[in-house]
Amino acid sequence: MTFALKRAEQTSAATTTSLPDVQEKVAAIIADIRARGDEAVREHSARFDKWEPEAFRLSQAQIGEIMARVPEQVIADIEFVQEQVRGFAQKQLESMREIEVETLPGVHLGHKHIPVAAAGAYVPGGRYPLLASAHMTILTAKAAGVPRVIACTPPIRGEVPDATVAAMHLAGADEIYLLGGVQAVVSMALGTETIEPVDMLAGPGNAFVAEAKRQLFGEIGIDLFAGPTEVLVVADDSADPFVVAVDLLSQAEHGPDSPAVLITTSESLGRKVIEHIDALLPEMPTRDNAEPAWRDHGEVHVVADLDEAYRMADTYASEHVQILTEQPREALDKMRNYGALFLGEGTCVSYGDKVIGTNHVLPTRGAARYTGGLWVGKYLKTVTYQEVTDPAASAHLGEVCGRAARVELFEGHARSGDVRAAKHGTADLPWAPNALARP
């Protein structure tokens, strides 16, 4: 029997599409920057961030000064985390084989992986300077072999976010701009007089940044359509309810619309988790986000067994799924819809967000049903090639192509096949003005 100890006060359905006012404001900014370039970028930066320096791009001298201000321990920690992210991205790259096969005598088919020529990374600022996003976007692109990676991050209350800039620089950004919001995303995507455009954009952001990426998709590539951070915990009676409570709140603090869901086989554990959350929230420094997130979007469901828990979890297709059970690796076989899976008490979603090496740019709003998150392969175009070196094979393919194309009423396609069937074989060309010369 399945029942809920806590249901969400607000449905998340309203957040699955952009609000009309967000769409309109973003569309207006895109149109303005498209028309007026740098002038418009400067005006929007002054308006939204109160930031209009002589140049948005940081010089090497400025980067050097910023790096000198960052504490040694912070630099060491950034380097450690980036080593983890780089190492995993490189192993992912190594798993992507280029292939060439001979499917028929003299018929060679293959594919290869080509990095995009230029990528743009958006590293959020505001209340939470997400310097970890620099690792995930810039460093992963560089591991993929992208020749030019540019990155934007906003000033924070008119100040340079030193640690974020340090992370961007150490990750390998070729150009760093102190520029935020929609104006940053649009500048990278479309280009201005001073910023060369990119082919792909990556990185999280607020609703306006997400909407800008949505509207620009197609004109450029993007990593994902991003929404509020999500966490779902599957737990049995072996789980520590205090740990479960802390882990749910760790993601609820991202924003007031961040869903935090527990699915458990133990009613007792579910009730204890709720009690712990109620006790922890009043003194939590990020209560202004975590409290409404838990109140409005928090859920606790009790199910009969773990098989039912995994089935229910798959219906959420949550961004982060944490497995706190006696046999956590069982979820690898039982589940299919998640952005990232965190197995066992020794692991937590915050590790994935900050330090462990997997990428934290992940699908939300049910997108895990059809896609994974950002990884080295997102920056690669897997392209095919083909070559027919045997005349007999070309003649045979030409005959089949002619018949197949005419079934679809594509006479031009058919004739391309006919020409090769005639030139390399014995077929006739009844449609040609002059018969093909034969020896």
- What DSSP designation does 218 have? T
> Cα-flanking dihedrals φ and ψ of residue 201, to 5°?
-120, 145
Element (H, E) at 295: helix 287-297
State the virtual CA torsion across 278, 279, 282, 287 in degrees, nearest 10. -60
Q: Are 348 and 358 in contact (CB under 8 A)?
A: no
- Cα of 156 vs its chain's centroid, Å: 24
Task: Count the Cβ atoms, other than its own, within 10 Å of residue 181.
Answer: 25
Give which of 86, 32, 52 is closest to 177, Cα–Cα: 52
Rounded CA-CA distance 436/54 in Å is 69
State the virtual CA torsion across 171, 226, 222, 172 in degrees, nearest 10. 0
Which residue in 175, 253, 291, 319 is the catalytic one?
Answer: 319
DSSP string, 103-114: EETTEEEEEEEE
320 is catalytic: yes
Backbone conformation region of residue 370, classed left if phi is above 0, alpha if psi is from -120 to 50, else beta: alpha
3-state SS assignment for residue 101: strand
319 is catalytic: yes
Which residue in 135, 276, 320, 360 is the catalytic one?
Answer: 320
Helical segments of 8-149, H only:
20-36, 38-49, 60-69, 72-94, 132-134, 140-144
3-state SS assignment for residue 265: coil
User: Radius of gyration over alpha carbons of the chain, in Å?
Assistant: 27
- What DSSP designation does 381 have? E
Rounded CA-CA distance 202/152 in Å is 11
Backbone conformation region of residue 365, classed left if phi is above 0, alpha if psi is from -120 to 50, else beta: left
Q: Are 252 and 260 in contact (CB under 8 A)?
A: yes
Active site residues: 319-320
